[in-house]
Amino acid sequence: MNTLFNTTFENEEASHYQNGVYLRPRTYDLQESNVHLKLTIVDTVGFGDQINKEERLKNKLILMQLINPSHSTLMLRLRLWVLISQQLSKCFLNYKPIVDYIDTQFENYLQEELKIKRSLFNYHDTRIHICLYFISPTGHSLKSLDLVTMKKLDSKVNIIPIIAKADTISKSELHKFKIKIMSELVSNGVQIYQFPTDDDAVAEINSSMNAHLPFAVVGSVEEVKVGNKTVRARQYPWGVVQVENESHCDFVKLREMLIRVNMEDLREQTHARHYELYRRCKLEEMGFKDTDPDSQPFSLQETYEAKRKEFLSDLQRKEEEMRQMFVNKVKETEAELKEKERELHDKFEQLKRMHQEEKRKVEEKRRDLEEEMNAFNKRKVAAETLSLSQPLKKDKDKKKCFKEPFALQAIFVKLQCAAICRSDKNENQSGMSLSNSKVMMAKANVEPLNCQSWWQAIQCCTCLVHNDAWKQGLF
């Protein structure tokens, strides 16, 4: 585009890994001398990038197997149809955004045309007037994507096929490639734009240009000095390819046909052929027609009333269907809710029974625990009562123990007195000295009595008094 219009447009590089195809329109105001041109360039970003070449190779291998009848099986045929459908679906995803964009521009123009107050004179016409379809310079044949896309676009836009990067193949190969492309387009029923020959002023040049289709072009914005002139060209180690040299490429022919000779014809073809076709199909879909079945003149008012009645009846029918559908949906929902409610009720009853059973068990355990606590409290009270009575007994025993030594001491005193008296008698009788009695009394004081009570002490003392040894004074 930069080379074609001799200017520099905004060029934003796009990735080849887009998820789909999207169109990027850009509008420019160009002016050269007294000629003003409003140009809209629409780039198809991502077109052709989603085709898997490995699957295409598999398709060719399967086709080669199907050619041989001995290897033609039902499974292979089914697989072929599956692969063809997949390939067509991918082609559909590539050209559908382009077709939709063109139809959208036609629809915008139609809506403007159907307005009561329309301003087509100063309306910005965004309809696509020409499609420059670039073909890869393979030198073999067109891709299936190219054929399918051009077949879908030929009834909506003027198509001019162009071989891009024509300097990559030789002239003989380029000539054969052009013939191959045109034969494939004709055999597949693809209608490309033919330069008009009905006007005598341009009939000769247009007929000669039609013989050069598709144009093989080379683009470049770099200026290279060739001899004494500076020209736009592409420089290679083996030479220079001049863009505006007709012996090198068809760029000059393309520029002449598009800008200088057939620009108005392209606009007329778009309006008279492609837009009218879209408009007729659209109005027929809306129910409008030129004559009625009886070949009577067409009445727009009657058609409008008939279409309105048809629309209202259709709307009423759809409303009734939606109402019936809503009623059925409500009934189904109510049945589902009742079923859910019944299930929840059963589950609630089951949980209630389980809760009552658990409550009963807890009550039983609580009663058992209370009984155990009561028994424990009784035992505790008895133990406390017993523990309170035992200290009193111990105090009495202590007091008793404190009294018994005094009694025993009194007994010892009496016994000592008795011993002294007995010692006096014996001294008088046997002449024993007083010192012996004192020793015996000291012995009686020293030796303890192994008695637990005062009664036992008395008995011990009585036994001691009545003892023969005691009487004889042997100790």
Res 412: pLDDT: 47
In this predicted structure, the answer to whether residue 406 has a pLDDT above a threshold of 60 is: no
Q: Would you put residue 179 in left (φ > 0), alpha (ψ -120 to 50) or beta?
A: alpha
Ranges of beta strands (E only) in 237-370 are 239-242
Q: Which of 87-91, 111-115, 253-257 is predicted least confidently?
A: 87-91
**Could you tell me which residues are beta bridge partners of residue 459?**
none
Helices (H) and strands (E) in the chain, counts: 13, 8
Q: 50 is written with which tokens?
A: 């989603």
Residue 276's nearest CA partner among 284, 38, 258 is 284
Beta-ladder partners of 152: none
Query: Among residues 278, 255, 37, 60, which one has the least CA distance to residue 157?
Result: 278
Q: Which of 118, 143, 262 is nearest to 196 (CA)?
A: 262
Is residue 292 within 8 Å of 42, Cβ to Cβ?
no
Q: Is pLDDT above 90 for 54?
A: no
More confident residue, 47 or 409: 47
Q: Report the C-alpha gap between 192 and 444 in whole angstroms.
A: 159
Mean pLDDT in residue range 55-68: 49
The phi, psi pair for 51, rounded to 5°, reads -85, 130
Position 229 pLDDT exceeds 50: yes
Q: 177: burial class by Cβ within 10 Å (0-12, 13-18, 19+)?
A: buried
Residue/partner pairs of 187-193 with CB below 8 Å, 24 or more apart: 188/147, 188/151, 189/151, 190/147, 190/150, 190/151, 190/154, 190/159, 191/154, 191/155, 191/159, 192/150, 192/154, 192/159, 192/160, 192/161, 193/130, 193/158, 193/159, 193/160, 193/266, 193/269
Cβ atoms < 10 Å from Cβ of 32: 11
For residue 422 the two structure tokens come to: 């007995």
- Using the structure block, give the residue that is written with the tokens 């051009």: 150
Q: What is the mean pLDDT of residues 118-142?
A: 87
Give how far the C-alpha of residue 190 lies from the chain's centroid of Cα atoms, to the nearest Å. Answer: 44
For residue 116, what pLDDT is reported? 81
Give the CA count within 13 Å in the CB-facing half-sphere of 390: 6
Kindly tell me the sign of the dihedral angle through the C-alpha atoms of 202, 156, 135, 28.
Answer: positive
Beta strands in 108-168 (DSSP E): 131-135, 159-163
Q: Count how many residues are written for the chain.
A: 475
d(CA 418, CA 135): 159
Q: Pick the more confident residue, 318 or 18.
A: 318
| Mean pLDDT of all residues belonging to the chain | 76
Helix (H) or strand (E) holding 229: strand 229-236
Rg, the chain, Cα only: 64
Rounded Cα distance between 414 and 349, Å, is 97
Q: Give pLDDT tens digits for 152-187.
A: 999 999 999 999 988 888 889 999 999 999 999 999
| Nearest alpha-carbon partner for 179 in 225, 229, 216, 231 | 216
274-312 confidence digits (pLDDT tens): 999 999 888 888 777 766 555 565 666 777 777 788 888
Q: What integer pLDDT is reported at residue 21 of this predicted model?
A: 81
Residue 417 has what pLDDT? 46
Q: Which amino acid is at 151?
A: K
C-alpha dist (Å) from residue 189 to 36, 154, 218? 37, 10, 28
CB 22 within 8 A of CB 46: yes
Token code pair at residue 329: 């949906």
Mean pLDDT computed over 204-223: 88
Q: Confidence class of residue 447 from pLDDT cuts 50, 70 and 90?
A: very low
Edge-first strand order for the sheet with 239-242 is 223-226, 229-236, 239-242
Cα dist. 29→38, 39, 124, 291, 426 in Å?
A: 5, 6, 12, 44, 170
Residues 6 or more apart whose Cβ sits within 8 Å of residue 79? 62
Q: Determine the pLDDT at residue 40.
A: 87
Distances (CA, A) of 380 to 366, 375, 377: 20, 9, 5
- What DSSP character marks residue 29? E
Nearest to 126 by CA among 211, 254, 27: 27
Other beta carbons within 10 angstroms of residue 233's beta carbon come to 21
